[in-house]
A and B are shown apart, each in its own frame.
Chain A
Amino acid sequence: MLLPLVLLVPLGFVVTHIAQTGEAGTGPMGLAIVYLLLMLGAHAVLVAAGHRGDPLLLPLVATIGAIGLIMLNRLAPDLEETAAFGLDFTVAETQLLWFAVGVGAMLGVALGFRNDGLLRHYKYTWAIAGALLLVVTFLFGREVNGARLWIYLGPIGFQPGEFLKIVLVVFIAAYLAEKRTLLRDASARIGPIRIPPLPYLLPMLAIFVIVMLVVIFGKDLGTALLFFGIFLTMLFVATGRRSYVLIGLLLFLAGSFVAYRLFDHVARRVDAWIDPFADPSGVGYQTVQSLYAFGRGGLFGEGLGQGLLPTAGGRFFGVETDFIFAVTAEELGLIGAFALLALAVALIFRGLRVAMLARDDFSAMLAVGLTTSLGLQTLIIVAGVLKLIPLTGITFPFVSYGGSSLLASFLVVGLLLSISHRSALAAEREARPT
């Protein structure tokens, strides 16, 4: 499954180069080669180590990442380079570096995590660590583009929120797996609606509070939405009760409404969502230009390297992060954008399959949570640039530029591989006659 990539990635680089320079040539092919070696190497390592995990996860990630790398390479000439260690790195190069780090982390987790006891039994420790991380970010974080999410250690900035995501999933998975058997049917009723019992309700409210804090102090709507969404999804899978999800959604809507009335930055985002054309050069600018980009893309796209979005208004902000999907759709058309979405869906389904085959509740819940984090993240950002929901500053996993996001996503995949490996081992053990 990885083999077609060997053709795809170089092809993408060549097309971009010709389109951008008007000459025959290959562009920075070195990047493509390094990427392919990285992915093929990772695959080889897994095979050599006798890994039994899901065989499609890595190829899917590699394909999605490949599209991301091709797009970043395409954007590189239009964007600034990062200076570090005395050298200048283009966005594509930086991303590739993070790819390498990410793959390493993924392999480490996939192969090294023999026993998930560390996760399962210390859930409260994880929860406290996560809360501390959040507090630290609020207190010491630097506000970047309206969201206080970043912590800088020297020249390297990273977003703790990305890793908090994983910690949150671990905690909720452990908590729900434990409580699930004890509380299957106990729920209070208020009128015709089922209210979750206290052990469910308390964490729900706690997380709701955390989420609202993130919105208010962190000024990040996207992460808040993501956290809450992950929690509700995991709650649904654990209990099967749609009413709990409904209550959670209502809570969230109520909270959002209050936030809309009280807080300016929330109000601005929502107004820009409702009618961006009312203020096309002000609040609605990004959404409007994004929609234009989609329109220009049409069915087959304008061609790699020939889109107008990156240079709209001089330099379009966020084109390598939030709007990378818009550029992809503009240049590869509906056909290309749909393919990317389909690949993301395939990855999600694969993750859910890992969850279904898991041997115990905790692993299953963990897999569900991790998969949902990737899936919801993709959904939120795509829906945002399409004006289906308000725009939020969330990254498209494996595609958007961003080291923390990439690393966290690879950790997620690593954990999924680890879970599926253990499930497969257990299945093999059972099939062996005694």
Chain B
Amino acid sequence: MIATNIRRLAVYLLLAFAATSGGLSWWQVVDASTLAARQDNPEVIAARRSALRGTIFDANGQVLASSQVIDGISRRTYTDAAFSHIIGYASLRFGTTGVERAWDDLLTGRSDPNPLRDLVNDILARQPPPTDLTLTIDRRLQDYAAAQLGTDVGVVVALDPRSGAILAMTSTPTFDPTPISGDPATAAGPMEQIGAQPNNPLVDRARQGRYTPGSIMKVLTASAALDSGAMTPETTFPDQPREETEGFVVEGFRVLEHDLSPVTPALWPFSPALQVSSNIFFAHVGVELGSERFLDYAKRFGFCEPLVIGPSDRGLSVSPSYVTAVAEDGGCAPFADTAEVAQAAFGQGRVNVTPVQMALLAATVANDGITPAPYVVRDVRAHADDPAAGPSERVLTTYRAEGSRRAIGSGAAAQVRAAMVDAVHGELGRLYAGAGDVTRYGVSGVSTAGKTGTAERGPDLPPHSWYIGFVPAQAGGTPAIAVAVIVEGGGSGSGRAAPIGGAVMAEWLKILAAG
């Protein structure tokens, strides 16, 4: 009957309209936030062009980035080039990077940090005002670190090992973002000039730089071996003294010791081996650990996956660090053979790491074996009309990072810590890492834990100079700062990186003491 068919038709049409409504809801509600974040969305473009952007303050309320609306265009001014990479830039011409990008919607006032208020704003079609950000970084320390690096190409990353708050993160060479963030018509020239400078100043080496770590990797090897029981602080390898001069052959690959003079090789347990940074000792440890456990522990420390600084929905990404070749899915491939494990154990071979990852390694040892989750934005505040007068008192949201996880047990952490203190203060150690001792920089009564690294890059290239450490490191003390320093092509670790690391940590202790 026609009537029956009409009824059926009605049902089909209703289904079709229901599907359409579903599609409508999808784009208007479900997927709306993804659409809104896309850079070519006219709303985003319009908002950024003329809307006042919130101010970014350092931990003490110093202005780092502020905006003024001149002639209807929002122009951004940056006060400190040491922050250029972590804050990034908000350029009408070139887009946004760094914190400016990750927190774009709050800085422009497109959304409200409080989700309930956000919904109300949506209903009332109200444009919330821009908000200001306070970073965890103290400008004094950041500037000091940048000054220490000077004209060298390198990175200083420092964080609070217990909370994960980033205390300093600077990469040199750097650039001035102000000329490219102003009038879009005049931004192209300065950008070209920046691009023409040597050593790629636009690259944030702290987060994207990948380097061979060299000896600082031994801290991870030791942590893994002690925690898994592959080694104890008393373990020795009988063949080791002989192999110091002859080399240690693993599956046809000969591991050679670096130049130990003036120290003479002997049978060393863990602490002295770390103090002199014995490749042979740690190659043995690596072999004892085995490829599976090594890889497993590396992942526990955060290797083989991208890291994130800050809350995960507004994170700054950090490139993954690798111990082996890169697998198809972007993770770590398994070790090819035992020789590769042996090399990875002292930080050569295919190991390449980011400075942030190494800072987290130091922080884990400092924090009883728990890797803190790093974050760089401390809170979001109401917009202060006059940035020069300091941030507003009205804090809208305070952020804490989530996701700290335990990498090794506190027992193993304590053992590694003691050895790292020896590496700086011990008879043998101070020959290598002594330069990283904070007492050399005007601080007294505090033990420093540290490790230098001299990363070989090949026959004709000067090695990278590395240093990781933390203070105060005495047993029973509470660590306040953990650092990782790299100077590209800086030579031996003790040469450039260790003094910078020690000085920066000392400076922080002084800042803390001054209140």
Contacts and interface: CB of A to CB of B under 8 A. Distances in A.
Interface stretch (A82-90, A197-205, A334-342): A334-342
B2 interface: yes
20 contacts: A236-B8, A237-B2, A288-B40, A291-B35, A292-B35, A292-B42, A295-B35, A297-B28, A299-B122, A300-B123, A301-B125, A312-B42, A329-B28, A338-B21, A355-B6, A364-B2, A365-B2, A383-B20, A383-B23, A388-B20
B13 interface: yes
Contact of A295 (B8, B28, B125): B28
A298 B4 contact: no
Contact of B24 (A240, A341, A352): A341
Given A295-B35, A306-B125, A361 B24 contact: no
Contact of A345 (B3, B14, B123): B14
A379 B16 contact: yes
Nearest to B16: A379
Given A291-B27, A301-B125, A334-B25, A364 B14 contact: no
Given A352-B6, A379-B16, A382-B24, 18 more contacts: A237-B6, A238-B5, A294-B32, A296-B35, A296-B43, A299-B123, A300-B125, A308-B42, A333-B28, A338-B21, A341-B17, A345-B14, A355-B6, A356-B3, A356-B6, A379-B20, A387-B27, A388-B23
Given A292-B42, A296-B36, A386 B27 contact: yes
Given A280-B40, A356-B6, A298 B17 contact: no
B282 to A, nearest CB: 49
A302 interface: yes
A292 B43 contact: yes
A172 interface: no
Contacts of B27: 291, 294-295, 386-387
A298 B43 contact: no
Nearest to A364: B2
Interface in B117-174: 122-125
A375 interface: yes
Interface in B92-134: 122-125
Given A345-B17, A388-B20, A388-B23, A302 B36 contact: no
B264 interface: no
Indicate the member of A236, A289, A295, A365 with the most B CB atoms within 10 Å.
A295
B35 A240 contact: no
A349 interface: yes
A352 B3 CA distance: 9
Interface string A183-218: 000000000000000000000000000000000000
Nearest to B14: A345
Given A236-B5, A337-B24, A338-B21, A298 B32 contact: yes
A233 interface: yes
Interface of A: 233, 236-240, 280-281, 288-289, 291-292, 294-303, 306, 308, 312-313, 329, 333-334, 337-338, 341, 344-345, 348-349, 352, 355-356, 361, 364-365, 368, 372, 375, 379, 382-383, 386-388
Which 5 pairs from chain A and chain B are nearest by CB?
A295-B35, A294-B27, A295-B32, A386-B23, A334-B28
B10 A349 contact: yes
Interface of B: 2-10, 13-14, 16-17, 19-21, 23-25, 27-29, 31-36, 38, 40-43, 46, 122-125
A402 B27 CA distance: 27
Contact of B31 (A289, A295, A338): A295
- B interface: dominant SS: helix
Nearest to B35: A295
B239 to A, nearest CB: 61
A188 B43 CA distance: 58
B490 to A, nearest CB: 44
Nearest to B125: A303
A387 B26 CA distance: 11
B6 A364 contact: yes
B24 A237 contact: no
Nearest to A313: B42
Contacts of B38: 292
A299 B33 CA distance: 12
A294 B25 CA distance: 9
A67 to B, nearest CB: 16
Nearest to B46: A308
A154 to B, nearest CB: 38
A344 B4 CA distance: 22
Contacts of A338: 21, 24
B20 A341 contact: yes
Contacts of B41: 292, 295-296
A388 B19 contact: yes
Contacts of B123: 299-300
Given A298-B122, A334-B25, A338-B21, A240 B32 contact: no
Contact of B29 (A240, A298, A348): A298
Given A233-B9, A301-B125, A303-B125, A238 B2 contact: yes
Nearest to A361: B2
A368 B9 contact: yes
A298 B36 CA distance: 10
Contacts of A364: 2, 6
B126 to A, nearest CB: 10
Contacts of B42: 289, 292, 308, 312-313
Contacts of B20: 341, 379, 382-383, 386, 388
A352 B10 contact: yes
A434 to B, nearest CB: 26
Nearest to B27: A294
Nearest to B23: A386
Contacts of B17: 341, 344-345, 379
Nearest to A295: B35
Nearest to B10: A352
Nearest to B33: A295
B48 to A, nearest CB: 13
B24 A386 contact: yes
A356 B8 CA distance: 12
Contacts of A294: 24, 27-28, 32, 35
A383 B20 CA distance: 6
Contacts of A313: 42
Nearest to B41: A292
B125 A237 contact: no
Given A295-B32, A300-B125, A348 B24 contact: no
B16 to A, nearest CB: 6
B156 to A, nearest CB: 39
A338 to B, nearest CB: 6
Contacts of B125: 300-303, 306
Contacts of B23: 383, 386-388
Contacts of A240: 4-5, 8
A348 B28 contact: no
A375 B13 CA distance: 8
Contacts of A237: 2, 5-6, 9
